[in-house]
Structure 1
Amino acid sequence: MQALIIIGHGSHLNGDSSAPVYRHAEAIRRAGVFGEVRECFWKEEPSMREVFDLVEADDVYVVPLFISEGYFTEEVIPRELGLAGPAPSVTAKLGKTIRYCGPVGTHPSMSAMILRRAEETAGLSHDEARRAGLVIIGHGTERNSNSSEVIYRVTREAAAAGVFGHVRAGFLDQEPAVGQVLGEMEERRIVLVPFFVAEGWHTQETIPDDLGINRPAVSAVTERDGRTIWYAPPVGTFPEIARIILQRAREAGADVPDEVEIAERAGV
């Protein structure tokens, strides 16, 4: 029997932070691919340190529902789980073979999902989008330089797609700050897409408050200083993320059906 562990960040400040982890895990259970599917978190219960005690299978796949190959996926998770190293790695522990997979956020489909979020939120015509700006918001960190690499990659890919006239990246915890990027953009129409996993403290409170735009619970659009600014939901809440979790496990050797069968089983 094979087991899947999905790791989320979690939060003590906002209960919505863990919701996508549970939602995607439930979709995967419906697909019936794994005998066991478990959720665990860095900032919530069940914690990473106890999750292996909850798993009976000997063949275990660990997929981090995180955006980047950075501080958490390369340092915190391997340390907390006692793994042999960052992904891809295989660890023999507690009579189990544990395969640590790459994070969801580095999957090649992310730039297309970001553009889809932007287009769905703003509802601009092709010509309007070509005259508009897109800002992809990443968390970033000074603790690990790899954290921002995926943000810059999806920004380049989104720009190359030619949907929006101007595409830039902005960060919460490193330069360039998202507020600075927003201030430098000349477009009258701008779409902000948080490249985050969940609707949590940052996406619902700190980002809109710092930028002086409406919180998501109020409105997705803000009219300010002659500009129209749309603020999209985070990318990680797309239902299709469940399929990407399964693809990450398949890449590590899990017996997982193809995408069509998964979609039919899980309804994603």
Structure 2
Amino acid sequence: MEKRGLLVISHGSREHGWIALVDETIEAVRSQLGTELVVEAVFLELVDGRLIQDGINRLLAEGVTEALVLPLFVSSGSTHVDEIGWALGVYPEARTATELEPFELGGLCINYGQPMGEAAEIDSIVLDRLMRLSEEPSEEQVLLIGHGSEEAGFRESWERELSGIAERVRVRAGFHAASIALLLPSQVAERIDTIRRDRPDLRILAVGLFLSEGYFTKTVIPRHLASSGGLEVCRYDGAALMPHPQVAAWVVRQAREWLEIRERGLEREVGN
């Protein structure tokens, strides 16, 4: 008899608070899924005893035969999503250099999911955060800030997905304009300079699209804003996607959609 599991992978951090937000989210996922799936939360690096191979081993020890592996990352432009997929045997080769070694699956059948990307849940999170910063949307410019990548193909995915989010929240809330900026390559100062030159009358609402609060939200983004004088003209919330409940809602939706597909597949196999 098949037993199914869910392996949620995020990057990892040395900061306890970063990890705690992930754990809080995954506990909400477990609560909503109940006994539908065996759920494990693991990290790409930096968290001893909770790395990807550790999670695979725990699923196998629980008797899990098939698992959805869900990369809890912001964008498909993350090179980590690609290298993890390669190490899991999903992709024939990694598109960038990686220090990962292929994981030992021990017969575990896996289905590799997609990161949050342009999911409806991420739109809701961003909109909630913007509305807490906003006074009059028609007089404001949205600036979404993402990690980004210097790698060809990955950068374009970051830009496409963030641009889609920015435009949708602009339309929904009636903001005057919306744009994006990546940290890699460094675009924040250029974007702020352009906004200040073209529309100095607009308030800039800056929101970082990072999974959990930590070094990037507390140090890197403020530093980029300060280098362009952006701290004086931007309202920046310093928050992250978690602990918003829509992150857990996204994980649960992915899991249940996968379960439904698997159940339908079994029905077809049984009923021919």
The TM-score normalised by the length of structure 2 is 0.76
Please tell me whether the aligned partners of residues 191 and 232 of structure 1 are also in contact (alpha carbons under 8 angstroms).
no
Q: CA deviation at 1:79?
A: 2.5
Deviations 1:7-44 (A, max 9, x none): 111123x3333333211111122221444211111122
Q: Which amino acid aligns with 1:141?
A: S
Partner Cα separation in structure 1 for residue 78 and residue 254 of structure 2: 19
Please tell me whether the aligned partners of residues 75 and 158 of structure 2 are also in contact (alpha carbons under 8 angstroms).
yes
Q: Secondary structure at the match of 1:105?
A: coil
Please tell me whether the aligned partners of residues 7 and 21 of structure 1 are also in contact (alpha carbons under 8 angstroms).
no
Q: Which amino acid aligns with 1:136?
A: L
2:226 pairs with 1:212? yes
**What corresponds to 1:149 in structure 2?**
160
Partner Cα separation in structure 2 for residue 40 and residue 240 of structure 1: 20
Q: Secondary structure at the match of 2:190?
A: helix
Closer, same or farther: CA 146–199 of 1 in aligned 2, 3 Å: same
**What corresponds to 2:100 in structure 1?**
none
The TM-score normalised by the length of structure 1 is 0.78
2:82 pairs with 60, 75, 82, which one? 75
1:54 pairs with 54, 58, 62, which one? 58
Please tell me whether the aligned partners of residues 140 and 174 of structure 1 are also in contact (alpha carbons under 8 angstroms).
yes
**What corresponds to 1:179 in structure 2?**
189
Partner Cα separation in structure 1 for residue 69 and residue 92 of structure 2: 13
Deviations 1:51-94 (A, max 9, x none): 211112112111111011124354211123333569xxxxx942
Q: Which amino acid aligns with 2:223?
A: D
Of Structure 1 and Structure 2, which has the larger fraction of its residues in helix? 2
Q: Which amino acid aligns with 1:129?
A: P
Q: CA deviation at 1:236?
A: 3.6
2:195 pairs with 1:189? no
Q: Secondary structure at the match of 1:235?
A: coil
Partner Cα separation in structure 1 for residue 157 and residue 58 of structure 2: 31
**What corresponds to 1:139 in structure 2?**
147
Alignment of 1:244-255 (within 5 A): 244-253=250-259
**What corresponds to 1:117 in structure 2?**
129
**What corresponds to 2:110 in structure 1?**
98
Q: Secondary structure at the match of 1:197?
A: coil
Partner Cα separation in structure 1 for residue 249 and residue 69 of structure 2: 15
2:206 pairs with 1:164? no
Q: Secondary structure at the match of 1:191?
A: strand
Q: Which amino acid aligns with 1:18?
A: I
* Uncovered stretches (5+) of structure 1, i.e. residues with no partner: 87-91, 214-221, 257-268
Please tell me whether the aligned partners of residues 71 and 113 of structure 2 are also in contact (alpha carbons under 8 angstroms).
yes
Partner Cα separation in structure 1 for residue 124 and residue 190 of structure 2: 25
Closer, same or farther: CA 64–243 of 1 in aligned 2, 3 Å: same
Partner Cα separation in structure 2 for residue 77 and residue 115 of structure 1: 30
What is the percentage of aligned positions where both structures have the same residue?
23
Q: How many residues align?
A: 236
Q: CA deviation at 1:255?
A: 8.2
Q: Secondary structure at the match of 1:76?
A: helix
* Uncovered stretches (5+) of structure 2, i.e. residues with no partner: 94-103, 263-272
